[in-house]
Amino acid sequence: MKNLHKYLLLFLFYFQLLVCSAAAPTDKMAWWKEARFGMFIHWGLYSIPAGEWNNRQTKIGETTEWIQCYMKIPVADYKKLATQFNPIHFDADRFVLLAKEAGMRYIVLTSKHHEGFAMFKSSDPFNVVDATPYKKDIVKALADACKKHGMHFGLYYSQAQDWNHPGGAACSGHWDIAQEGSFDKYLDQVAVPQISEILSNYKPEILWWDTACEMTKERAAKFEPILAKYPNLIVNNRLCEGVAGDLETPEQFIPSTGFPGKNWESCMTMNGTWGYGANDHNWKSAETLVRNLIDIASKGGNYLLNVGPTSLGLIPDPSIERLKAVGAWMKTNGEAIYGTSASPFKKLDWGRCTIKKVGGENLIYLHVFDFPEDGVLRIPGLASKVDAAFALENKNQKLHLETAENFMKIDVSKVNREKFATVIVLETSQEVLVYNAPEIQAEYSVFIDKASFKITSDNPGSVIRFTTDGSVPTNESPVANGMNTVSASASFVVKALCFKDGKAISGYTERAFSKEEPISAVEVPQSKPGLQYSYFEGVWGQLPDFSALKPLDTGVTRQIDLTMKKRKADYGVVFAGFLLVPQTGVYQFFLSSNDGSKMILSGKTLSNDGLHGMDEKSMDISLSKGMHPMEIQYFQAGGGDGIKLEWKTNGKDRSVIENSNLLHL
């Protein structure tokens, strides 16, 4: 009967998802896509230690809101912080008005982070009203202020990590007996009731989940009866693996191509940490923030930019200064961000592009980061007839333009150059048509005696011509057909361009190929199967110097995995030995890890600095047949874990390195 109940619950979950999807308005994301820019607020008890506990400061890479986990602070000690939390200077109206001044259209506040402390009145006593001298509901105050000032309002909730309630720390690994308990019981008694509270009491338009580890679809189904009541609610993709949500959430980076066809949002900090850090002065410049916003909008995404208030309820001055500077730029140029679509150009050397349809006109916004020295802005591959060109800052200043075969030239020599980025607007009554430069595809960017590559284009009816001597292709250059192989005695650059009816129609693209002599193998008189490993425990925000640390355990493993770990979090492993390369050639290695890792192979280094999420990095290297010294370092810093090393060569499929290729002395 118990299993039958589980299956019925899962069926109900997916049935309600289907019904909810069918019933919900198709345009519930419309305001969100129009907004493009929002404020993330990370605020909780962690603002009191602000990155320091018992005279120890968080390290580079360690964010202050994780201080309890990093420093293994006992539950009883951490909960005492609530008696000190009294943000007497908090003014919800000021928060919202600052966001509006910055040009932001929505706010997402941490209603409960991994520390388990609720910033709202909750049935659970560990909350801002019942456990602090402040005695006021911060979520309600901000929700009311957002409604008052016409700001969209959202709430973050950490469903899968809670270090101060029994069972909630399963994802991070326990360090206190008070954390032990059933994760399902935690969900039933804390998380599910609190989600019901925040949705019914504060009516957020966004529910921002975080860290899906330990969550299953069956556990996610516990929330569905509540979520089904709010068909207009926007939810992200972090509730559970396999439950997509309404938007993708890249963290602390901007994906190179965005997520075509999907809603997505880059959440990023202004300095190095989400919560307030008293000693974190590594602030991004206002120019970086503006250009991040432009870059994200040009790829069809939203920018969720974070502030971390102090324990007294103040947004740090450096954050305020930068937000006001961003707002000054947005006051003039906001129309080039709000409601725009992704750029039709795959690459612009001098900046970015966004587009928008207004009535019968299509507007092309050219965000110029780097002004051309000769005062002529060149637009590659634009085939639409442009009716007018002007600077957004001065719409009455019409700009002279000329059209060549494969690019448009705009005279911007007299345009006032704005701080951060200058926007040039092109108006056209035609659909925006761009002939993008072709793409050069190759398995490897390194070669020994010859390199192979394929050049493709999505421009119909075009002919691709290319060169390998560094010159721009002409109508007389060789035609790219299928796979092209070039024998070369030195490194070279391929340049390619699309032609139609004998005329160039696109910008050109290029790719460098490096000639490398295969790294010599080493003589190893005797070897044994597997790699030696050294196991460490510690709290790190980045890869430590393992050579300066004493391992807790050593041994031999036949494969690169984490079976030797003795706890779920805050540990490291170093694998050392040799890689047996079966034949001389160019190899590509793929290193995936959660959290950070590094491979050193015959003196070449491949680093993967990812935190709190599986990330992959790759490297091409030319190797001789035989044994090559190899070391792989890995550390875990809370949340999930994992490491994988794969390789490919000579047209073979990518695969995990076989055990027989891993050896040690």
Residue 24 scores a pLDDT above 60: no
Provide the pLDDT for residue 568: 82
- How far apart CA 453 and CA 484 sit, in angstroms, is 5
Pairing of strands 234-235, 206-209: parallel
Residue 437 scores a pLDDT above 90: yes
580 Cβ contact list (under 8 Å, min separation 6): 626, 627, 660, 661, 662, 663
- How far apart CA 621 and CA 612 sit, in angstroms, is 28
Q: What is the mean pLDDT of residues 561-580?
A: 94
198 Cβ contact list (under 8 Å, min separation 6): 111, 120, 139, 155, 157, 204
Residue 213 scores a pLDDT above 80: yes
Q: How many CA atoms lie within 13 A of 624 on its CB side?
A: 11
- Between these two residues, 648 and 541, which has the higher pLDDT value? 648
Domain ranges in the chain are 31-335, 351-428, 439-515, 528-664
pLDDT in tens, 448-487: 999 999 999 999 999 999 999 999 999 999 999 889 999 9
Residue 608 scores a pLDDT above 50: yes
- How far apart CA 314 and CA 44 sit, in angstroms, is 12
Residues belonging to the chain: 665
CATH code given to domain 31-335: 3.20.20.80
Angle, vertex CA 107, rays to CA 609 and CA 234, nearest 5: 85
pLDDT in tens, 312-370: 999 999 999 999 999 999 999 999 999 999 999 999 999 999 999 999 899 999 999 99
Coil, strand or helix at 431 = coil
One CATH from 3.40.50.1970, 3.60.20.10, 3.40.50.1100, 3.90.182.10 for 528-664: 3.90.182.10
Q: Which of 306, 293, 297 is nearest to 267 (CA)?
A: 306
Q: What is the DSSP string of 118-164?
A: BSS--SSSSBTTTSSSS-S-HHHHHHHHHHHHT-EEEEEE-SS--TT
Q: What is the DSSP string of 355-422?
A: EEEETTEEEEEEEESS--TTSEEEEETB-SPP-EEEETTEEEEE--EEE-SSEEEEE-TTSPPPSS-E
What percent of the chain is predicted at pLDDT more than 90? 85
- Could you check whether 31-335 and 351-428 share the same CATH topology? no
- How far apart CA 9 and CA 123 sit, in angstroms, is 25
The tokens 């139609």 sit on which residue?
500
Hey, how many other C-beta atoms are within 10 angstroms of the C-beta on 7?
10
Residue 415 scores a pLDDT above 80: yes
**Alpha-carbon dihedral 16, 17, 22, 25, rounded to 10 degrees:** 110
Provide the pLDDT for residue 163: 97
- How far apart CA 28 and CA 26 sit, in angstroms, is 6
Residue 14 scores a pLDDT above 70: no
Confidence bin at 26 (pLDDT 50/70/90): low
Hey, how many other C-beta atoms are within 10 angstroms of the C-beta on 76?
10
Provide the pLDDT for residue 622: 96
Work out the mean pLDDT of the chain and round it to a whole number. 93
- Between these two residues, 59 and 90, which has the higher pLDDT value? 90
CATH code given to domain 351-428: 2.60.40.1180
Residue 209 corresponds to which tokens in the numbers above? 């989940």
One CATH from 2.60.40, 3.10.10, 2.40.160, 3.30.230 for 439-515: 2.60.40
pLDDT in tens, 573-603: 999 999 999 999 999 999 999 889 999 999 9
- How far apart CA 569 and CA 582 sit, in angstroms, is 36
> Strands of 439-441's sheet, edge to edge?
439-441, 450-456, 483-487
Provide the pLDDT for residue 1: 47
Residue 127 scores a pLDDT above 70: yes
305 Cβ contact list (under 8 Å, min separation 6): 37, 38, 39, 40, 104, 267, 268, 270, 289, 292, 293
Residue 10 scores a pLDDT above 50: no
Q: What is the mean pLDDT of residues 147-153?
A: 98
The tokens 């349809």 sit on which residue?
357
- How far apart CA 664 and CA 529 sit, in angstroms, is 6
Hey, how many other C-beta atoms are within 10 angstroms of the C-beta on 519?
18
Residue 285 scores a pLDDT above 60: yes
Confidence bin at 611 (pLDDT 50/70/90): low
Q: Which of 60-74, 344-358, 379-393, 430-444 has the lowest mean pLDDT?
A: 60-74
DSSP assignment letter at 264: B
Residue 19 scores a pLDDT above 70: no
